[in-house]
C-alpha cells in the first residue's frame, strides 16, 4: 500500500504516554483517509511496555538504541512509506484536525513544510517563566535564520526531508530547531514559506517539569545554555538520555 502520511514517533520508556499519542494520531487519521496513515514508533532502549502497546495499537515498531534523538527520528523516516512526513514526540498528542490541516497547507503549494504550536498539559508560573527563558535563548538562532520558526511537530513531504538532509545526527540536542532553520532556508530557495499550523496544535506533557521542578531550567541556566549548544553530551545525557 502507498501511504499518504507517515507519522514518526521516537519513544524511550513511554508506556505512560505512547497510547495517548497513538490514539490521537488514529483520531486525526479519521479526518483524512485512515488507511493512508502509517504510524512508526522508533523504540529507544525501552525496558517497559512501550513496544507492546505500540504494536497493539497498530504501529510499526523499529529499534534504534543510539543516544541521539536525531538518529532515532531519521531511522523512522527512512522506513516511512508515506509521501508526507510528520514527526511528533511520544509524550505529545495532536489535535484531530492536524493531519487534514497539514494536507491542506502542503497542497496549497505555498509551504515547504513547518511546525506547530504546543501547549503543556498543565501550567504554572515556573513553567511560563521557563518557556519565556527558552524562547529568549532561541531568538539569536531565529534571527540568524531570518524568521520566527515553530517546532513541536514537524511536517513536510518526504522528498523535502531528504533534500534538507533530515535531522543532523552530529547534534545530541537542539536538532529540532536546527532542522527548522534548514527547512526554512530550503523553502526560501524554492520560493515557499515555512508554515505554522493555524488551527491544529499539540498537547505535550509537563513531565520534565514534574521530574526536575518547574523552575529547574532557570535555576540551572548554565546547564540550559550547554543544552542549547546542541553538542554537549554530558548536558544532554543529564536532561534527556539518562532519565526515565
Residue 224 lies in a domain: no
Residue 80 lies in a domain: yes
**What's the number of domains the chain is made of?**
1
Residue 244 lies in a domain: no
Secondary structure element (H or E) that encloses residue 153, with its range: strand 151-157
Contact, 4 vs 32, CB < 8 A?
Answer: yes
32: cell is: 483524512
Query: In the prediction, which pLDDT does 137 show?
Result: 81
Task: With cut-offs at 50, 70 and 90, classify the pLDDT of residue 1.
Answer: low
Residue 72 lies in a domain: yes
Residue 134 lies in a domain: no
10: cell is: 521516537
Task: With cut-offs at 50, 70 and 90, classify the pLDDT of residue 2.
Answer: low
Instruction: Count CA atoms closer than 13 A to 170's CA, side-chain side.
Output: 3
Residue 111 lies in a domain: yes
111: cell is: 509551504
Query: In the prediction, which pLDDT does 244 show?
Result: 63
Better-scored residue on pLDDT, 145 or 225: 225
Contact, 4 vs 83, CB < 8 A?
Answer: yes
Contact, 7 vs 92, CB < 8 A?
Answer: no
CATH value at residue 89: 3.90.550.10
Q: Give backbone dihedrals phi and psi of 34, rounded to 5 degrees, phi first.
A: -55, -35
Q: How many other CB atoms are there within 10 angstroms of residue 128's CB atom?
A: 12
Residue 188 lies in a domain: yes
Give the Å distances, CA to CA, from 161 to 54, 61, 164, 200, 240: 25, 21, 6, 21, 24
**How does pLDDT run across 22-70, given as a tens digit for each residue?**
999 999 999 999 899 999 999 999 999 999 999 999 999 999 999 999 9
Range of the domain at 170: 5-117+150-205
Mean pLDDT of 213-236: 92
Residue 78 lies in a domain: yes
Q: How many other CB atoms are there within 10 angstroms of residue 74's CB atom?
A: 23
Residue 8 has pLDDT above 60, yes or no: yes
Give the Å distances, CA to CA, from 18 to 22, 59, 68, 81, 156: 6, 10, 19, 21, 23
Q: Tell which residue, 175, 213, 219, 162, has the closest CA to residue 67.
A: 175
Amino acid at each position: 500500500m502507498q501511504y499518504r502520511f507517515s507519522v514518526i514517533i521516537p519513544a524511550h520508556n513511554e508506556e505512560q504516554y505512547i497510547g495517548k499519542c497513538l490514539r490521537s494520531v488514529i483520531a486525526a487519521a479519521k479526518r483524512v483517509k485512515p488507511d493512508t496513515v502509517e504510524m512508526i514508533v522508533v523504540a529507544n532502549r525501552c525496558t517497559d511496555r512501550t513496544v507492546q502497546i505500540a504494536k497493539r495499537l497498530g504501529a510499526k515498531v523499529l529499534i534504534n538504541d543510539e543516544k541521539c534523538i536525531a538518529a532515532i527520528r531519521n531511522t523512522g523516516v527512512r522506513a516511512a512509506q508515506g509521501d508526507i512526513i510528520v514527526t511528533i514526540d511520544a509524550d505529545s498528542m495532536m489535535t484531530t484536525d492536524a493531519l487534514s490541516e497539514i494536507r491542506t497547507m502542503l497542497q496549497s503549494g505555498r509551504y515547504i513544510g513547518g511546525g506547530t504550536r504546543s501547549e503543556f498539559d498543565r501550567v504554572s508560573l515556573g513553567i511560563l517563566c521557563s518557556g519565556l527563558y527558552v524562547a529568549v535563548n532561541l531568538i539569536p538562532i531565529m534571527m540568524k535564520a531570518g524568521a520566527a520558526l515553530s517546532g513541536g511537530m514537524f511536517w513536510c513531504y518526504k522528498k523535502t526531508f531528504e533534500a534538507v538532509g533530515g535531522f543532523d545526527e552530529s547534534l545530541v540536542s537542539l536538532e529540532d530547531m536546527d532542522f527548522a532553520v534548514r527547512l526554512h532556508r530550503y523553502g526560501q530557495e524554492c520560493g515557499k514559506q515555512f508554515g505554522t499550523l493555524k488551527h491544529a496544535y499539540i498537547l505535550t506533557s509537563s513531565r520534565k517539569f514534574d521530574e526536575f521542578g518547574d523552575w529547574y531550567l532557570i535555576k540551572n541556566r548554565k546547564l540550559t545554555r550547554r543544552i542549547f549548544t546542541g553538542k554537549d553530551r554530558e548536558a544532554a545525557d543529564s536532561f534527556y538520555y539518562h532519565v526515565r
